[in-house]
Structure 1
Amino acid sequence: MPTLDEAFALGWEQQQAGAYPQAIQIYREIVRADPENARTWFVLGTACQAAKQLAEAEACFRRAVQLRPQEPDGYHFLAGVLLEQGKQDEAVEPYRRCLELDPDHAEAMTNLGFILGEQGKTAAAQALYERAVQIKPQYAEVHHNLGNILREQGKIQEAVPHYERALAIKPDYAKAMINLGIALVALGKPAEAVTLMRQALEIEPDFAEAYNSLGAALSTTGDLEGAIAAYKKCLQLTPDYAEAHWNLSLVYLLQGNFAHGWPEYEWRWRCKKNTPLPPFQQPVWDGSPLAGKTILLQEEQGLGDTIHFVRYARLLKEQGGRVILYCPWGLTQLLRTCPGIDGLVEKGATPPDFAVRAPLLSLPSILGTSLITIPGEVPYLFADPSLIEHWRRELAPIAGLRIGIAWQGNPNHPWDRHRSIPLTAFEPLARIPDVRLISLQKGPGVEQLQALKGRFPVLSLASTLDEANGKLMDTAAIMQSLDLIVTADTAVAHLAGALAVPVWVALSFTPDWRWLLNRDDSPWYPTMRLFRQKKLGNWAEVMNQIAEAVRKCPQAQERPRLGVPIEVPPGELIDKITILQIKSERIADIAKLKNIRTELNALVQVREREVPASNELAHLTEQLKAVNERLWQIEDEIRVCERNRDFGPRFIDMARSVYRQNDHRAALKRQINKLLGSQLVEEKSYKPYADS
């Protein structure tokens, strides 16, 4: 009968040969005979881990560290098997204990760094990786992980050397090849990335994650069919790979293949990096009849997405639903102008009772939107008339063609490096005679204004823009005073499109899916024109094209005429504006309200362009609005009398008050005309009032 040492040697020999069941059986016999033998518990744990018997492996390692609590490798292996079982949080403590016992344990540092990175503790993870690199500079895995944590922070240039170092140490390191490829795509080198990723797949042909990354790289080169094939191969290997489904949807949607794209787009909720929606218990709306039900629309993704898809509220309202929008903080003032919305709840607040809910970007799928059924009616958002008036006065001294510009999107967006434009690229526009560039940029990107150092002029408006009046409210009003908006693919583009103002958007070589391919218009926004890169990263060519288009069209796409261009007395104009203001406050019908707001905004623009403001004019305008409000009330009361067939003294008094109020109204309009020196003066003739 062999001794315990001889049995251990035999078990180790079997384990080294890959005969894990035999090794496990031998080790089990040893620990039954000698249950205090920490070494055997430890190697039994390693054999069970190799055989994927992870629960038993965990129990063995726990027994080993109990018997030998000062042995760092016991904690390291215990943490490793916990990590392999997906118990990341539990693995932290044994890794920390390992490092207390052996502060230079590079592998434990690397694995703990991985967990902390997954928990969002980026700085702590990076510090561990950097320490591990110093201790063990030839450790390929730590270079790879350090590259990942730097890349995730947007430090692409710093990440690349670590990936390259990992591959120099371990040339067949397929995962490092893939992540270096992802970094190269971010740096605008997708062709190099494709080559590297194909090499990785030669090493590991069944590497599903690599096919997903290859699909993204091919999409960036413009090879959309190749991208689709790569994503499908990934899904063949791993059918529930959420990121591949979502990436596949983006290609289908970019191609205009909405029928295939929308179902795949719903996989976004299972992607690791997508923020889940608040966990309401009510079911997601399935498209069934809404009449009499309240539906909660949940905003998701960015400001631009919310502005883009809030248009669907009107369609739900037309189905008889009561529509509540769960919206981003600060955006309620703007979004409440959207037809179809019955109520708004800021994110984080408790919404009123509702029957069903729908993520905002799921509505196109639920409603079966195709290219020909896109709800493209604009405007569906409206600037505040008082803010339009304010900014019209502020911008009035600026002569020439006024072009609003925005160049920087959200820097946290994964594609922002490619979709945002350096401010310096707008110089061809600034050099056009009589063009005045006006910055609409907020937040990240404004620092580029100072960096210009006078290279070309850009008017920067108040730093408090959109703070006092609600998010984007000032911006929306300013847009009404501009001749054209030229912007990168940002929320500014969506806002301008939703307001139906002329907007030109500069797009990267492979743009966001909503801009489609091979067209210079957008079915989502009729007043929008698209300018596309022909080569990834080449903004100079795009901006030169835009500048040339401005030269050829000095009025930069005049707004569609909203009526017959005739001169009217200013009193008549202001009278009409007050009537429309009253209607906008009292009429609830969605279609009517849209028409009222469109006409009101148009007339306010004319007034601000043509009529000088003064305190006296403001006072007369208030009086005129008060008269028109009284006329509205009187007419309502007369209709009630007619409905009740009450034609007695009350009816007669109200009928008489109509002409008295109209006479007062005419007198106020005449005062306005006289104040402004109008050659067109309203005249009125009437018989004297009867004696009372």
Structure 2
Amino acid sequence: MHKHLLLLICTALCSSALYCNQTEITAQISQHQTRIAHNPENAEYHFAYGDYLASLDRREYDTEAFTHLKKATELQPHTMQWLFRLGSFACRIGLLQESLEAYMHILKKHPSLTSVLYNAGFTFKVAGELDVAARIYAHIIAKDPEYEPAHLGLAFALVAHGKYAAGWKEHLWNLKKQKKDSPELRQFIQDGTLAGKRILLIPEGGLGDTLHFIRYAQRIHHMGAQVIVAVQRPLLALLSGCPYIDLLLPTGMPIEKFDAKATLMSLATFFQDTQDTIPQNIPYIFPDPNRVAYWNKQLADDHSFKIGICWQPDSHNDISRLPIARRGIPLSFFHTLATTPGVTLYSLQQHEGLDQLNNLPQNAIIKTFDSTFDVTHGSFCDTAAVMQSLDLIISTDTATAHLAGALGKRTWLLLPFNSDWRWLAHRSDSPWYPTMRIFQQERPFDWHTTMHTLHDVFFNEVYPSITHS
């Protein structure tokens, strides 16, 4: 079994199946069901049907897909590829015990299969069993020191568990492997010789990652370096107000002279930060005062408790994640707040998800902004400014949430069951953003319980002060 089979659990599935129309899907389902009806004990028929449904990557087919994959492995229990497929799919849809059972069935006969060990470790990590996951990753590394996914998995399992020193040390192995370890910058930091050096920082990941880790440009500037930052073009206007950036450029522009270069996301590793040393100079992003004054005037007549909401991340980014890690939440879960007296919701949603505003109950009001918002003055410039007039921001894990945290605004973050390492495990707060509170799914796909908890907090801790003011 090739080790790259592990990618089955962390990449988007069959693109041709993803986009075929419903008529084609219905016809395919009918054909599979007919074959199985005529020969219900044929393992290959069950596997083909389950595999097809799984490849559609649609929630409404998940249960049936799992049932038929499981049936195939019961009828033909020694086919490793089928068990592996069952295990990876079960993990994707949050059936973690079933996923582990499939992997353990393989490992009983083939205990040294690296890809299966890795996937088992990954499933334990998703389940929150970080110590178990770390031991599995370490076991893989002991027998295959060059197995990069295990190093990365171990690094972030350790950091998510609050074991920063060990986690950053492990992550440095990955950065060296990827040639992102910036030995020059690390030496300057170690020797205390950053003063006077020209340091180039470049983005890695999405816009939210840049907003999260741009704080390190401030630290490096305060250590006496000249800080050059290349960022994604949409962030140029927003970050132009950061006084600790000496030269701000769009990515792709040639820069000839610098003493060291590093990605923004690598800097926490280089500084070996812990919960107590993470840069918390909040705010570290500064909206245009003119836009702040403008929006303060626009919202001056609204004396209610003002909440900005963002419910849908970029779908192209989200589809690459496991289903249990996808971050979007239906707007319908905000209807309770949208119908609460003394509360006004403002949509901070950009582009995708706006169609859901057309399906609001008659008594639910969510205020929106016109088409010039975040366009005329630059991406996020109006969002950052209007946030200064809001009392609370509730957002999924998007750039909007990072921006709110960077501004020091009261922020409630909604997380799926399987979330990013930076939010740490089993935490309702964030050392990255002191004004942030985390509401995470307790069970895969269960936004109902998560929002019930959020409503309890709001109506017990926040709303009484609104009604008495």
Give the equivalent residue in structure 1 for 2:39.
Answer: none
> Residues of 1 paired with 2:376 and 2:323: CA distance?
28
1:551 aligns with 2:464: no
1:238 pairs with 2:138: no
Q: Is the 8 A contact 1:150 1:156 kept in 2?
A: no
In structure 2, relative to structure 1, the CA distance for the partners of 1:391 and 1:286 (3 Å cut) is: same
Which TM-score applies when normalising by structure 1? 0.56
For residues 328-380 of structure 1, the C-alpha deviation after alignment (integer angstroms, 9 at most, x for no partner) is 12101112223421112212222342121111111111112112111112000
**Deviation for aligned residue 1:290:** 2.1
Q: Secondary structure at the match of 2:403?
A: helix
Corresponding residue for 1:638? none
Change (3 A) 1:445 1:237: farther
For the pair 1:334 / 2:238, whether they are aligned, the reply is: yes
CA deviations over 1:165-220 (Å, ceiling 9, x no partner): 87478532323323332222222222221222222222422111111111121122
**CA offsets 1:491-544 (integer angstroms, 9 cap, x no match):** 211101101111111233453222224443322112222233333333223222
Alpha-carbon distance in structure 1 between the residues aligned to 2:152 and 2:60: 27
SS at match of 1:383: coil
Tell me whether 373-382 or 189-198 shows the greater mean CA deviation.
189-198
2:207 to 303, 308, 326: 303
In structure 2, what is the equivalent of residue 372 of structure 1? 276
Cα 1:121–1:229, aligned 2, differ >3 Å: closer, same or farther? Answer: closer
Q: Is residue 402 of structure 2 the alignment partner of residue 494 of structure 1?
A: yes
Percent identity among equivalent residues? 33
Is the counterpart of residue 184 in structure 1 residue 61 in structure 2? Answer: no
1:321 maps to a residue whose letter is A
User: In 2 relative to 1, CA 438–480 (structure 1 residues): closer, same or farther, beyond 3 Å?
Assistant: same
Q: 1:157 to 1:210 in 2, by over 3 A?
A: farther
**TM-score normalised according to structure 2 size:** 0.80
Give the whole-Å Cα distance in 2 for the aligned partners of 1:140 and 1:309. 49
Are residue 384 (structure 1) and residue 288 (structure 2) matched? Answer: yes
Correspondence 1:286 to 2:286? no
Q: 1:514 aligns with which of 411, 415, 422?
A: 422
| Number of residue pairs matched by the alignment | 433
Contact 2:324-2:417 at 8 Å conserved across structures: no
Provide Cα deviations, 1:114-143, integer angstroms capped at 9, x if missing partner: 9xxx9x99549999xx9xx99x999969x7
Equivalent residue number for residue 421 of structure 1: 329
Moved more, 549-558 or 246-255: 549-558
**1:504 and 2:415 equivalent?**
no
Mapped contact 1:522–1:528 kept (Cα < 8 A): yes
Q: Secondary structure at the match of 1:285?
A: helix
Secondary structure at the aligned position of 1:184 is classed as helix
Asked whether the 8 Å contact 1:140–1:169 carries over to 2, the reply is no
Contact 1:502 1:556 in 2 (8 A): no
Q: 2:381 aligns with which of 462, 467, 473?
A: 473
* Residues 517, 417 of structure 1: alpha-carbon distance in 2 compared, 3 angstrom cutoff: closer
Question: Unaligned stretches of 5+ in structure 1?
Answer: 1-83, 87-113, 559-692
Contact 2:324–2:418, Cα closer than 8 Å, also in 1: no
Distance 1:535 1:157, change over 3 A: closer
CA displacement at 1:292 relative to structure 2: 2.2
Return 5+ residue gaps in structure 2 as ranges: 37-41
Higher relative contact order by CA 8 Å / sep ≥ 6: 1 or 2? 2
Superposition deviation, residue 243 in structure 1: 1.5
| 1:396 has 2:325 as partner | no
Residues 133-172 of structure 1 correspond to what in structure 2 (within 5 A)?
147=51, 151=55, 154-155=57-58, 160=65, 163=69, 167=73, 170-172=76-78
Select the structure that is richer in helix: 1
RMSD over aligned Cα atoms: 3.9
Aligned residues of 2:93 and 2:444 also touching (Cα < 8 A): no
Deviation of 1:381 after TM superposition, in Å, equals 0.2
**2:258 maps to which of 331, 346, 354:** 354
Computing the radius of gyration over CA atoms, which structure comes out larger, 1 or 2? 1
1:79-158 aligned within 5 A: 122-123=15-16, 147=51, 151=55, 154-155=57-58
Matches within 5 A, 1:29-44: none
